[in-house]
Amino acid sequence: MSSIQQVAANYKTMGNATVTLTGHTDTVGSPDANVTLSQRRAAAVRNALVREGVPATAITGGGQGEASLPVQTADNVDERRNRSVDITVVGQTMTRTGMTDAEYCAALSRTYRQFRPSQADETAAAAMHQCEIGNTAAGIPVLERTLTAARIPLPVRY
């Protein structure tokens, strides 16, 4: 999870970024089963990135099974390092204009109210309250996840 969080944080500092996922497997099992397994592995990483605030529309890629292995092995070799997902974030680094966490938390709250004015849920309401009392560390991630899950674009922070 720390890698996922690091990738999500990196994504948020990039402008017009894309995230590419490439799932891999070892060479144990049938090639068809390994393609399916690598696709599921990449999908799990995709879902985790979305939960951390990366828009699903910014994520591409999938599984390659036994093709293009990180560590080349013979057939039926149990190689842990091949059971992986490569993650690449490509974009233009943005320069920070100085939006504080409090300002960003307030912008997230405004965005939520704008798009969900009559459908506020308890979790979002609690997060907005955390923003209001200055606990941005508790409010920001919840509001980012809530907005992303609803496919509402996050406000630009930088």
pLDDT in tens, 140-155: 988 888 887 777 777 7
- DSSP secondary structure string, 61-77? EEE-TTTT-SS---TT-
State how beta strands 14-23 and 85-93 pair. antiparallel
Average pLDDT over residues 44-50: 94
Predicted TM-score (pTM) above 0.75: no
Query: 135: number of CA atoms within 13 Å, CB side?
Result: 9
Percent of the residues in the chain that have a pLDDT greater than 70, as a whole number: 91
Residue 32 has pLDDT above 90, yes or no: yes
Edge-to-edge strands, sheet with 59-63: 59-63, 14-23, 85-93
Q: Band the pLDDT of 94: cuts 50, 70, 90.
A: very low
Write down all domains in the chain, each with its CATH number in brackets.
2-93 (3.30.1330.60), 101-149 (no CATH)
Report residue 29 as tokens: 């099992």
User: pLDDT tens-digit profile of 52-90?
Assistant: 999 999 999 888 888 888 888 899 999 888 899 988 888
